[in-house]
Each structure stands twice: as structure tokens, then as C-alpha cells.
Amino acid sequence: MASQEPALAPQKSITPSEEPETTPQEPVPTTPLILPFKYSNRVVLKTILERSDGGVGLVGEKVVIGGWVRASKEVRKDPPPQLQPEDNDEATASLGHKDASCLEILQTRVPILRSISKIFGCGGNYPVRAKLRPASSKSPVASIPSPPPIVNLLVSDGSCVASLQVTMQFSDDFPVGSRPIGTCILAEGVIHQLSEQGKQGIEFKVEKILHIGAVEDDKYLLSRKRLPLETLRDYSHFRPRTNTVASLTRIRSALAFATRTFFQDNGFLSVEVPIMTITDGEGFSTKFRVTTVPVKEVEKEQPEITDSTDGTNLEIVKAAIKEKSNLIQQLQRSDSDREALVAAQQDLLKTSQLLSQLEEKEKLRLEALRKASKAQVPEDFFSQPTYLTVSGVLHMESYACALGNVYSFGPRFRADRRGTAKQVVETWMVEAEMAFSELEDAMNCAEDYFMFLCKWVLDNCSSEMKFVSKRIDKTRTNLLESMISFSYERITYTEAVNALKNVADRKFETQPEWGIELTSQHLRYLVDEIYKRPVILYNFPKELKPFYVRLNDDGKTVAAFDMVIPRGGTFITGNQKEERFNLLNERINELNLPREQYEWYLDLRRYGTVKHSGFTLGYDLMVLFATGIPDVRDAIPFPRSSSKVNN
């Protein structure tokens, strides 16, 4: 049986008049290739210049950019020379005749051909070509005006190392010429591709200026070229406009983000420790006193102490009474002169009455003085001596003993007048504390944290590190890479001293001996010459570490460590805290520390004690190490020292 195909429904033919109406489709909105900053309408230059194609894929995009001028150049193009005929203008017109043949053109230009043509009768009525001359001011034909100048700017908004080339065409509606360095501009325009490939493949052509922040060029500090970093420290409000400080700041910001990322990813809680405290975090540090009482004003308003005893000295009267009493005792023993004894007794009585009167007057005087002083001298804000925090380690223990693992990131203050390339009075510290952990756990965490920071900078600050390699230290990137690949040597303080003692071909300024603090010269030799890698020293003599570090079984050393980095020195220190109440109490008494400051700290040992350890990283020194900048004051946004606070 033959299979039957299904019958098709008859199709109705549609005449043009019966064609179904089609509704016009609405245009599909297109997403721009580059989005503006969320909180303004401008596009951040980093999103243009740090694309893999250098921004070429954005050609044709209309955007708004803003930034500060780093370089400016005005380009003027000379007009093309205008040629004028020497004899007549009709010859010029004939040259442009569309129907002229090659022979005709040659006849107008070569005289001998013109003569031959006349002989053979093939010459045309074509005018002789006039000689051409350049147009001049005396020419009857007006010269072509010079084209308007083009202004090329390099603009940076601080988001990256690179700057964007910005082009502006001068016109009556757009009368903007060359701009001084530092001028702020906000402009709307289109991204174009440069015909000549240089450092950049794109330029930004301005169509509309939205804002110009003018600069007094003759007074602006950064109009001069390449100011030394020491000079820039006096103008910390302008420093971030320089490429060097801007790059350091971006690296510093990246390290801060990396710090929080590491601790959050590893289960630490962020805790802010107090900036003002009554506790000395180390027991022997120099501190800044916090007070609201102006000391000089107190001294000036202090009431004058006047003597109300009519010139009679109380101490003389007391000495006289003692002398008269001795005389009476002698007369009583001899019993020889009764009249002298009576006279001496009467004299003593009068002197004693005088002393009583003088003491009463002095008492009243001192009471009046106290009241006057209390009325004139303002009361201090705090009821007891209060200081800026030197270290938050002790306070961190309070939260570690309740929450497990905590960290703090903030400023610390030390009233030390010594100004060095690695020391300032206000510095930032990263402090971590872990409950139920011992010294080795703290060393492991510190090592992982440091390696994490080095890798983060390499992965997230590539353009800044290229700038560092070019301008500051060409080996810095390799150094950071080696910090990730090296294994870290761990040796005791005793082993380090012995290793240095065995060095025969090197004389140190301070000879290494057990019990002394190892100098930077000793530490450099350990990491650069002996071990050639980062070294973690641990188990130091107890005299070299704070009172709260756990005493080892030998009774001479404590569970503390220092991480020493090649070309960086020591900027990570850590320890295991003394959790045993009796030993910590003995240590406080041994060092004659003010016990009232540490009662709350001893409570952590009285109630639910636990083994705990942690470490501290000098954050500013880490920025110093990552960038290779030689002075820590250049790695801090607003450095503070005893001799200089600019703003």
C-alpha cells in the first residue's frame, strides 16, 4: 500500500494591498564599551589606558574624562604656499580645462613644440602658460590664513601611571590654548586612533570643556622639573601629584587591601584598639602625654607664695625649741641652779607658743593657696595620666582571649626625637593575635602573611612596579619574586650569635656577644652573606624583649622572634605571651612597672587563661620594602617628626 503524504493546506495568495502590516521595531539599547565611574559621569583613565589593547578597542566612543595636566604643547601648522601667475590669470584657468589633451598641455608648456605645431598647422588656440610665483603680501589675491593651533595635553587623573593624550582644536567657539602644568580639566570628547603609533595608540579629541581649574604658573611649585623628594616633604599637599608619590600611594593602598584580605580570608576579626590609653604597651617606651591643661598658662597663673610669718623661719624656731629642751634636761640632772632652770622653762614655753602660732598661720596660708590654685588652674580632661598608644598588643589580647583570632590596623605613636630613614613618630602598624597558639604558629602566620603581601603587589601593581623599576630600583621586582620562592631560615638567637662570632674575615663595629641586641650590620650579614635568604631569629634573652613575653624553660630566654628580610631589615616581630599569672606578676615587679596600669592585664591570667601568640608588622616599612624608596617619610602620606609637622 502506497504511503500517502499528508495533504497540505491550500495557501491563500496575498495581494500587495492585503500584505500584513509590520510594526516598526524599537532600537535595541546598546551597552557602551566603557562605563563611567559610579559616582560621577567621568570615565576613570585606568579603565582606558590599562586595557590589554591600550584603549584601541574604544575608538569612536564618546566619553567624559577629567584630570590634571602633566605636559602641554601648542602645535601650529604653516599654511601651504599659494601660487599666483606672473602675467595673466587666463592661463591659469586654461590649465584646469577638462577637455585638454596631452599634446595641448605640452604645447602650453614647451615653446618649441608650440612652434612646430604652428608650422604643421596643428596648433590650437591655447594661451601660453604663465610663470607661477608664490603668493606674497603684495599679491592682489589674498593669502590663505594660518590654520588654528592644536593643543596637545598629557592628562592624568591619578588612577594609573600612564597619562592620556588630549587634543584640543582652537576656535572662536573654543578659545583654549596651551595650559600650564597642574591645570585641572573636565572635558567631553571622542577617542580616536593615532596615525603614528607611539607610546599610546589613542588620543582623546575634546568636543566640549566642562571645567578648567586654572593654575598660577609662576607660583606653582610643580612647574619646576623633578624636585627632590626632600623638598616635596615640605609640601605634602602637592606631593601626590608627582608620578613617584602617586605610584607609592597606589602600592600602599594595595598593601592595605591585601592585609585585610589575608586576615579576613584566614578567619581573623578586625578590632580597633584605643588611640589613647593609660597603659604602656611595652613597659619602657617613650610616650606622648594627652592633656587639656596648658602647662605654661598654669605656671603663669600660679599664685605667688608669700611668707606670712613675719620673716620668722619655722625650722629655726623648731631647732631653738630642741636646743632649749636639751638645756632644761641638763639643768634638771645637775640640780644646781634652780633659778636658771625656771628661766629656761619659761623661755621654752614662750618659744613653743610662738611655734604654735606660726604653724597655725602657715596652715591657713597653705589652705588659702590651695583654694586659689584650684580656682585658677583648669582641671585636666582625664582623671589620670593618659598617653597616645605606643602598641595595641595588650589590648588585642583582651579580644583574642574571647574571640580567637583578631587583628588591628592603625596608627601608633612614639615620642622619640631620633629622626632616621626608618623611624617616624607616627607610624602605622598591623598587629595580629591568636588564641590557642604558640610561638611556631605565630612564625608560620607571619611568614605566610609577608609572602602574601609580596605576591599581591606583583599581581596587582604591575604598572606601578614597572615605574619603580625604571625610576627607583630596577631590581625591586626580582627581590619581591625571590621573597615568594625562598624558604625562610629559622635559627635561635644563640645560633645567630655563634655564627657571627665564627666570621673571621669581617670586623663588626660592635662585636657580637650573647645578651646584646644585634645591630643592623649583624643582621645584614646574616641574611646577605651567611644564609642568603630571609631569616627568622627566635628565643631571645629576656632582657631584650617586653615584660609580657613568655619565659622559656631555661629561665634566660623568652619565646619571641624577629623576621629579617634581605635589603629590608627587621619589620616583623612576634612572640608568645606569658599566660602564667605568677611569672607575669614576678616580671612586672622585677621591672618596677606601675602595677595599677596592668591590673586589668593580669585579670586575663586570673580568669580563663589561654596560650596565645601574635606578631606586629611595621606597615610603613613594608611599603618601603615593596617600593625601594630609601626614606620612610616618602612612603607616608603626611609624615610627622619632632622637627616638622607641615599640615
8 Å CB contact between 550 and 575: yes
Helix, strand, or coil (residue 473): coil
* CATH for 46-78+146-223, options being 3.30.70.260, 3.30.450.40, 2.40.50.140, 3.40.50.740: 2.40.50.140
Q: pLDDT value at position 86?
A: 45
Output the nine-digit C-alpha cell for 337.
641652779
The 10 Å Cβ neighbour count of residue 159 is 17
Contact 493, 464 (CB under 8 A): no
Max avg pLDDT among 59-73, 299-313, 339-353: 59-73
pLDDT value for 353: 79
- Residue 30 carries which side chain, given as an amino acid letter? T
Better pLDDT: 81 or 454 = 454
pLDDT beyond 80 at 50: yes
Which residues pair with residue 581 across a beta bridge? none
pLDDT score at 148? 75
pLDDT for position 520: 92
Higher pLDDT, 35 or 624: 624
| CB-based contacts of 489, cutoff 8 Å, min separation 6 | 531, 533, 534, 535, 536
Note the pLDDT of residue 103.
Answer: 52
**Average pLDDT for 241-259:** 95
Stretch (H or E) spanning 95 = helix 90-95
**Cα–Cα distance, 424 to 439 (Å, whole number):** 29
Exposure string over 447-465, b if 16+ CB within 10 A, otherwise e: bebbbbbbebbbeebeebb
Q: What is the pLDDT of residue 118?
A: 54
- Inform me whether the pLDDT recorded for 38 exceeds 80: yes
Q: For residues 585-597, b (16+ Cβ closer than 10 Å) or e, as one string?
A: eebbeeeeeeeeb
- What pLDDT is stored for residue 372 in this prediction? 63
Cα(170)–Cα(187) distance, integer angstroms: 14
The pLDDT tens digits for 221-230 are: 887 677 888 8
- The helix/strand/coil state of 427 is strand
The total number of residues shown for the chain amounts to 647
Give residue-wise pLDDT tens across range 574-629: 999 999 999 999 999 998 888 888 999 999 999 999 999 999 999 999 999 999 99
User: Which residues are within 8 A (CB) of 315 and not within 5 positions of it... i.e. 6 or more apart?
Assistant: none
Q: Looking at residue 418, what is its pLDDT?
A: 74
Listed range (278-282, 295-299, 573-577, 611-615) with the worst mean pLDDT: 295-299
Phi, psi of 135 (to 5 degrees): -70, 145
Task: Report how far apart the first and last C-alpha atoms of the chain are (Å, whole number).
Answer: 104
Q: How far apart are alpha carbons 203 and 152 in whole angstroms? A: 9
User: Cα separation of 164 and 162, whole Å?
Assistant: 7
Residue 340 has a pLDDT of 76
Of 624, 627, 628, 625, nearest to 639 (Cα)? 624
Tell me the residue type at 449. Answer: Y
> DSSP letters of 110-175?
-HHHHHHHHHTT-----PPPPPEEE--TTSSSPPPPPPPPEEEEEEE-SSSS--EEEEEE--SS--
Alpha carbons 377 and 519: distance in angstroms, whole number: 47
**Per-residue pLDDT averaged across 277-299, rounded?**
75
Q: At what angle do helices 439-460 and 619-627 cross, to 10 degrees?
A: 50
Higher local confidence (pLDDT), 294 or 252: 252
Q: Does domain 244-289+387-634 have CATH number 2.40.170.20?
A: no
d(CA 364, CA 240): 64
Q: Give the containing element (helix H, strand E) for 358.
A: helix 338-376
Q: Given this model, what pLDDT does residue 97 score?
A: 44
254 pLDDT band, cuts 50/70/90, is: very high
Percent residues over pLDDT 90 in the chain:
48
Instruction: Flag the least confident range among 57-61, 145-149, 205-209, 346-350.
Output: 145-149
d(CA 407, CA 410): 10
Q: Enter the pTM of the model.
A: 0.74
Contact, 601 vs 547, CB < 8 A? no
